[in-house]
Structure 1
Amino acid sequence: MPYIAPELRTALDPHIDALAAALTAAAGDIEGDAAFAGLLNYACTRLALGTLPDRRYWAIATTSGVFANIADEFYRRYATPYEDEQIAKNGDVY
């Protein structure tokens, strides 16, 4: 999880909230339940490209690692509880 100082969160959160709202609104204009996925991918890619310090191996490897960590942490913190709820609701497969 990205544990950053509270004052940094305070500075960044309004911008992140505005971007999330814009992506949600744009997704509403596109047909399909997963319309947000392409928009989220685009926004994250642009954000990464806009913050990369240099086009060098170490920066690319670090950024790729951040995206991998984001995916792992998102699944652990957000998806796993959902999976547990569905197991309790519907029964386990195994």
Structure 2
Amino acid sequence: MPYITLKDRSGLDPLIEKLREKVLDFPEGTAVSISMRYIAERVLIEGSLNAAEQYQGKRATRYWLLVNHAGIALNIAFELWDRVFSKVDPASLQWFEALFVPLDPIPSHDVSQILGSDVDALIAKIKKLAGPFGYNYDCAYCGLVNYAMTELMPRIMMDACDLGDDDFVAEDVKSMMFFWFGLARTLYTEIARPYEDEQIAKNSDVSVYNLLLRRLNV
């Protein structure tokens, strides 16, 4: 579950609610997943840059923070499966590990003009709560971002179903899981993997991958 103190929740909850309402006010025909992806990517990526600045005095890429992107997304997806979906579909364990499907590119129309300022406010609040000279408690960045996304996305999905007069069903939980697994893969391949490739070019790759391929006769 997201690790966050009760006092910090009160700082994030109004911003989460405002974003939820704004997403639901989008013109008809705008896919909820587009808004969700814009919010999630902005909050995870900007939050990690802020964390780098707080920890090391420089707002720049840090490998462990790039990995956190995927880690938070995976954590949210796993909690959805463990706490909700596995209870309504016990057989889902059979396919649970095969969900890393990359997300499609965001369509050309830009949601940033509508959501940008409110996402900025959420990112700024997370940065403030984490403290100006470092974290106020262990893993504050991860916990704050995790909490915000865990609270926001299911509420958007449930309310979107209500607005469309659709029942909220287990498949909707599965869709959220697919979203987070897909985002984890997308953030890794688009942000962390290029950084890894640069380091491999400088320092060489680990040898075990070739060993595995030889053992498998590939």
User: Shorter-chain TM-score: what band?
Assistant: 0.7 to 0.9
Q: How does 1:76-91 map to 2 (within 5 A)?
A: 76-91=189-204
Which is higher, the Rg of structure 1 or of structure 2?
Answer: 2
Provide the rounded CA distance (Å) in 2 between the counterparts of 1:65 and 1:30: 33
Q: How does 1:18-57 map to 2 (within 5 A)?
A: 18-28=121-131, 29-32=135-138, 34-53=139-158, 55-57=168-170
Provide the rounded CA distance (Å) in 2 between the counterparts of 1:30 and 1:50: 28
Provide the rounded CA distance (Å) in 1 between the counterparts of 2:202 and 2:120: 32
The one-letter code matched in structure 2 to 1:19 is L
Say which structure, 1 or 2, has more relative contact order (CA 8 Å, 6+ apart). 2
1:66 aligned partner: 179
Question: Which consecutive aligned stretches of 4+ in structure 1 deviate over 4 angstroms post-superposition?
Answer: none
Where 2:106 maps in the other structure, the secondary structure is: coil
Shift of 1:35: 2.4
Distance 1:85 1:12, change over 3 A: same
Provide the rounded CA distance (Å) in 1 between the counterparts of 2:184 and 2:136: 24
Aligned Cα RMSD in Å?
A: 1.9
The one-letter code matched in structure 2 to 1:36 is Y
Provide the rounded CA distance (Å) in 1 between the counterparts of 2:130 and 2:173: 29
2:120 aligned partner: 17
Where 2:129 maps in the other structure, the secondary structure is: helix
Provide the rounded CA distance (Å) in 2 between the counterparts of 1:12 and 1:67: 20
Provide the rounded CA distance (Å) in 2 between the counterparts of 1:19 and 1:59: 25
Q: Structure 2-normalised TM-score? A: 0.38
Provide the rounded CA distance (Å) in 1 between the counterparts of 2:106 and 2:181: 16
The one-letter code matched in structure 2 to 1:15 is D
Identity %: 34
Provide, for residues 60-92 of structure 1, a one-character-per-residue CA deviation record: whole Å limited to 9, x for no partner. Answer: 111111111111101011110111122123222
The one-letter code matched in structure 2 to 1:3 is I
Q: Structure 1-normalised TM-score? A: 0.82
Provide the rounded CA distance (Å) in 2 between the counterparts of 1:58 and 1:14: 32
